[in-house]
Structure 1
Amino acid sequence: MLTKKDLQQIKEHGLSLQSIYNQLEIFSLGIPAVDIVTAASVGNGIEVIPESSHQKLVDLYETSKDKLDIVKFVPASGAATRMFDFLHKFLEEYDPETETLNKYLKRVPSFALETFMDHMKEFAFINDVRRKIREHYPDYKKSNKGQRMYWLVKMMLEPEGLNFSDLPKGLIPFHKYAKYYTTAFEEQLYEAAFYAATRDDAYLHFTFSEKHVPYFKEEFETVRNRVSKKTKTEFHISYSFQKPETDTIAVTLDNVPLRDADSNVVFRPSGHGALLSNLNEVDSDIIFIKNIDNVVAEEYVENISYYKKLLAGKLLWLQKKVFGYLNILEQEEVEESTIKDIRSFLWNELSIKDIPMDQDKLFMVLNRPIRVCGVVKNTGAPGGGPFWVKDQDETISLQIVEKSQIDMENPHMQTIVNDATHFNPVDIVCGVRDFRGKKFDLMLFSDPRSGIITKKTVGGVTVKALELPGLWNGGMAKWNTAFVEVPLDTFNPVKSVNDLLNREHRPNA
């Protein structure tokens, strides 16, 4: 199926022929659904740290952090398009020349649109939108309500206006303060100063889309003095892109490589699992991972910061135990009572149930990257969660699993998912150095069998696309993991623009 031209294209893309054959085989054979045994719950894979222990763990982190290398890792390449789905629909379906707004809302009821209209003045970006309207539509105020609303949405979303449809979510104005507004990008900087700064320096690594880098650089230069002055912190920004060599081949529904109009093979980005390669290049004692849109207004940051320090303290406590045991296991003879202690630790603290007796194998089980994942009580939000999973070797382990990995047509699996008590807000603290201080190669601790085959539309044609194992599910499948319950108010993502009306996104609300 592949020509000499294809082989040259594959090589130029940084891919190997073997990797392409492997991908084609996966398309042909399919990826088995994840075999979830049961949902993790409090006392069964999820720990609720008693309040009496909170301060001890927070203090452990506070007293240790100035001697550590700390980085906050923020996936930030996502476009803002989905934030405005209902507004895109409005532009497509409403014609102010032929229909009043009231008639449209009766014909196409939209609670989201009505909420947006009722609260327009409260959004951080409204003044910028109005300025664009004055530039393009001088008769705006003389027009009827439907026409005004139509123009306002156009000026928000389209290129002649603010072009929010094509901006990354991190650069959309989120929070409206008395004299300025802030983007999610700026709030990530501000928040980092409270828990990820050492000796008044904060290091953040963002994964951007390459085309958006100039905009983020401009934003950083605009806000760095303001946020540094407020926090007395110097910010150091690094960034990376999703690498072309992590792209995967697209195929037709018959598993034949898809070609464009010039007969070139079509490659597609392979989902957030591709960012494992980016994370693998960050060499640090502690890495905080948090999505770009999960931020709060300044007055709520202290609460967020407290639980970040709690999770980091838990990580340091686990590392101290693990590193101590690894130093012991390096010795030729280890007392049986110590082996018992190690096995008890693995069972109780890292939820590892298939524990070897052999000293060398115990060493291998302990000598892995460690992550402490905050999980929140389930409120019906979409997304992944903590589950006990049986792999192809019949080993049962604790994993984060996305819904797309589960056979939801299987009634038993559906029941397990519906009964799940917690979900994953992507609130992760990572330890990626071993007990000798050497960074792990994170690629060795991924499960390559846990990718996802999805269906996409390319040029009006439905095709298959392959996503690599997700960054925090299959990408970290072989990490040692602890799940810790954190309060729901630490999770404040902005999936829809109307989420910005929630209390945590409204300064002095």
Structure 2
Amino acid sequence: MHQTFTKKDIEKLNIQGLDIIEVQKQIDRFKTGFPFLEIINYATNDKGITVLSPEEADIYINIWDGYSRSGHSVVKFVPASGAASRMFKDLFEFLQRKSESPDNDSISIFFDNIRAFAFFDDLNSACVSKKGEDVESLILHGRYKDVLEVLLLKNGLNYGGLPKGLLKFHAYENCNRTPVEEHLVEGALYAKSNDGGVTLHFTVSPEHRQLFKELISTVSDSYERAFGVKFDISFSEQKKKTDTIAVDDNNEPFRDGEDLLFRPGGHGALIENLNDLSADIIFIKNIDNVVPDKFKDEEAYYKKMLAGYLVDVQSRIFGYLKLINSGVYSREELLEILYFLQDKLNVKNPDTKYLEDAELVLYLQKKLNRPIRVCGMVKNVGEAGGGPFFAVNEDGTVSLQILESSQIDLDDPRKKDLFVKGTHFNPVDVVCGVKDFNGEKFDLITFIDENTGFISKKTKEGRALKALELPGLWNGAMSDWNTVFVEVPLSTFNPVKSVNDLLRKEHRS
């Protein structure tokens, strides 16, 4: 049964850039849910995750250095939207409690180390301005919550309302840097073109776009001089047409008054933003996974290794596709291509042994002529999030996928066992090749698996609702890409989920 929409509803749909058919599909999805993916096994160092020796890593770094100096276009894509409120969850909760003094380890650690944070000087000045005393004086008088109000709320530094990219993460002798600045420096180290150009693209929230632009305009000249580069920096926002309708517990459209409620479609919506970029190679890295300069050489080393590995694999794919397109090839050459698909790209098809040569050629063309991503994988240390698995695709083939726990039927003992035993974790360390062997850009939208997504429970003003997230950017949105996993050390994964993470040695300069 299809939903009935009012004239006002349809006007809102038009504003969102959605049509009734699309919204009806979303409502139907709430009713049916998303199917679990069939997993065959988790990827390991023995099968599915490549481990490179130092000598091999150096070879791929040299490949990348040569490629990046040869006139190819490179972009660093950084998802940076959303407020940092979750980073200060414990501090916000303390503000709401009756206790006036630190009442758990997290709060005590924060105040005991408050001078170590890169934002301390700004906080200290703001406390003097807003509260009439410096931070240490306020703490001495038991006014802990006054300090937090200045740090987190709008009439102070507003760190609870700003995105992570604009917060001061790392302290240096002569300056303190935000994640945005650290990404500029990173770009200069591994994404520089032969003419010294470094191109970065940040996805931001509309309300923060101007703040990002102001920061970039303030700092970019000094970093260009320091690293001998020229930055080309652009921004985009998550498109309104990727917002999804919210429903109530009965799967009826949730209304805010008389208006339909739409919510952002999750990071999977950013495939649209990625698709708008035109580049030969695109690096993807989250905004909060940055380190100070003393750790950057190691980080850049592994980024260049992944990129060189991608360039090498992609060049072999391009060579095979040109051979197939020439129409002049032997049975032995077709088998060589098939073995490459199976062994290097980990794409398995039990039916290939039954295919005639003409059918095999079509199969190889289809599987090779796709976007490709090389994803760094770290050893599993219990982090929440996705991991590398062999999964069954809609066409019956098996390939490598990054899957979240919600995509796996954990009520099935065998699959739960596979999920629990997974040896590696996805740190969102991705290098992408998005052009075909003729140099034409792929339409990335056509490679999304629409049957992968997430339904979550939320509230609005105390009312329960269900929200729909689109297939995740590195999950379903890249489901039909060629995927290669390469192990990288845990030292390359340093996200900041909580403010106290900034006290770890990896974030101390």
Residue 90 of structure 1 and its aligned partner are, at CA, apart by: 0.7
CA distance in 1, matches of 2:64, 2:320: 21
1:119 to 100, 106, 113: 113
1:467 paired with 2:469, answer: yes
2:247 to 251, 256, 262: 251
User: Structure 2 stretches of 5 or more lacking a match?
Assistant: none
- CA deviation profile, 1:405-458 (whole Å, cap 9, x unmatched): 233344333222211100100100000000000000001111011011111111
1:35 to 24, 34, 38: 38
Number of the residue aligned with 1:151? 146
CA distance in 1, matches of 2:41, 2:314: 28
SS in 2 for 1:457: strand
Number of the residue aligned with 1:377? 379
User: Structure 1 stretches of 5 or more lacking a match?
Assistant: none
1:439 to 438, 441, 456: 441
- CA deviation profile, 1:180-230 (whole Å, cap 9, x unmatched): 100000000011100001121100000000110111111111211221122
SS in 2 for 1:438: coil
- Partner amino acid for 2:420? N
RMSD of the alignment, in Å? 1.5
SS in 2 for 1:375: strand
Call closer, same or farther: CA 1:456–1:231 in 2, change over 3 Å.
same
- Name the TM-score, length of structure 1 as normaliser: 0.95
For residues 50-199 of structure 1, the aligned pairs below 5 Å read 50-66=53-69, 67-96=71-100, 101=101, 105=103, 110-138=104-132, 145=140, 147-198=142-193, 199=195
- Partner amino acid for 2:90? F
CA distance in 2, matches of 1:211, 1:115: 32
C-alpha contact 1:329 1:360 (8 A) present in aligned 2 = no
2:502 to 490, 500, 503: 500
Residue 501 of structure 1 and its aligned partner are, at CA, apart by: 1.1
Residue 485 of structure 1 and its aligned partner are, at CA, apart by: 0.2
Identity among equivalent positions (%) equals 44
CA distance in 1, matches of 2:462, 2:397: 42
Number of the residue aligned with 1:403? 405
C-alpha contact 2:434 2:442 (8 A) present in aligned 1 = yes
C-alpha contact 1:176 1:506 (8 A) present in aligned 2 = yes
Number of corresponding residues = 496
Judge which range, 134-143 or 152-161, deviates more: 134-143
C-alpha contact 1:36 1:389 (8 A) present in aligned 2 = yes
CA distance in 1, matches of 2:391, 2:205: 33
SS in 1 for 2:342: helix
CA distance in 2, matches of 1:348, 1:415: 25
1:343 paired with 2:338, answer: yes
Judge which range, 276-285 or 330-339, deviates more: 330-339
C-alpha contact 1:371 1:482 (8 A) present in aligned 2 = yes
SS in 2 for 1:114: helix
Residue 323 of structure 1 and its aligned partner are, at CA, apart by: 0.4
SS in 2 for 1:425: coil
Number of the residue aligned with 2:451? 449
Residue 393 of structure 1 and its aligned partner are, at CA, apart by: 4.7
Number of the residue aligned with 2:214? 218
- Partner amino acid for 2:72? L
- Partner amino acid for 2:127? I
C-alpha contact 1:209 1:241 (8 A) present in aligned 2 = yes
SS in 2 for 1:57: helix
C-alpha contact 1:157 1:163 (8 A) present in aligned 2 = yes
SS in 1 for 2:255: coil
SS in 2 for 1:22: helix
C-alpha contact 2:347 2:397 (8 A) present in aligned 1 = no
CA distance in 2, matches of 1:366, 1:388: 18
CA distance in 1, matches of 2:199, 2:236: 14
SS in 1 for 2:254: coil
- Name the TM-score, length of structure 2 as normaliser: 0.95
Number of the residue aligned with 2:424? 422
